[in-house]
Amino acid sequence: MTAEPVPAFGRYVALGDSMTEGLWDVPDPAEPERVRGWADVLAQRLAERRAAGGAGPVEYANLAVRGRLLAEIIRDQVPRAVAARPDLVSLVGGGNDLLRPGADPDALAGLLERAVVRLRAAGADVLLATGMDTRSSPVLAAMRPKVAVYNAHIWSIARRHGARVLDVWGMRSLRDWRMWAEDRIHLSTAGHERVAQGALVALGLGPDDPAWDDPLTPLPPVARARRLRQDLTWARQYAYPWVGRRLRRRSSGDARVPKRPEPTVLRVHDGAR
């Protein structure tokens, strides 16, 4: 049996928006007032594997803030990541931009590539992530062509600069609504766990569960009347408030600060599982 490789990453900084902050995941076991998220799970897995392999600890920072646009992520978070001198940076952003009318995926890719160049020049390995395939979402399906163009750029940027790609678009498990939160935009706890497994694979490390991306057993079909009631409830609780914030040029992340602003050592027994 081949031994699992010991992760080489001892200092990891996560950059991005609500997905990387961990919106809709469970509370962080170490600090219940903040949410966990796939990047936190990934950091904990790296720490556990390094400890099992006799390597040093993992220092981890998460600078992601919900609602941030890509330009804001690059302006505010990338310089702080460079200053922390990490050996791994995950940079996931652009989804909030693509939700806006007139979004240009080519222009976004230009911003992203310049950030990747800067991070690579600072000596960090970079983990990017594709956007989710929105074809099954009645609300987000219209943005699917722009997401696909942006994803194509992400793969090209990774090839040119030696970055790694977490293939969220290709994850079959995420095509099930049980992987998504009640707002139908953010990941559920199960979804964050699956994405963390995909990140391990993208980094050349084996997943904890070889079936991590297997499709879920289908649920029984939902009656049309019940589905309509669910859609109306969703629109009232989530869609209308979201549209209202956009019209007022407000964000759910206004006045928020990063949950883990400085790299701190993760204790293996903190328990991110």
pLDDT in tens, 188-211: 999 999 999 999 999 999 999 899
Q: Nearest CA to 6 among 195, 205, 207?
A: 205
Q: For strand 125-129 and strand 59-62, is the pairing parallel, antiparallel, or unpaired?
A: unpaired
Q: What is the pTM of this model?
A: 0.89
Mean pLDDT, residues 130-148: 85
Domains delineated in the chain: 11-219+258-270 (3.40.50.1110)
| Strands laid side by side in the 260-265 sheet | 164-166, 125-129, 88-92, 11-16, 59-62, 260-265
> Phi, psi (5° rounding) for residue 3?
-70, 145
Q: Report the pLDDT value the prediction gives residue 140, as an integer from 0 to 100.
A: 74
Least confident span in 94-103, 196-205, 243-252: 243-252
Q: For strand 11-16 and strand 59-62, is the pairing parallel, antiparallel, or unpaired?
A: parallel
- pLDDT digits 0-9 by tens, 116-138: 999 999 999 999 999 999 887 76
E strands, 63-220, in order: 88-92, 125-129, 164-166
- pLDDT digits 0-9 by tens, 70-90: 999 999 999 999 999 999 999
Report the SS3 class of residue 217.
coil
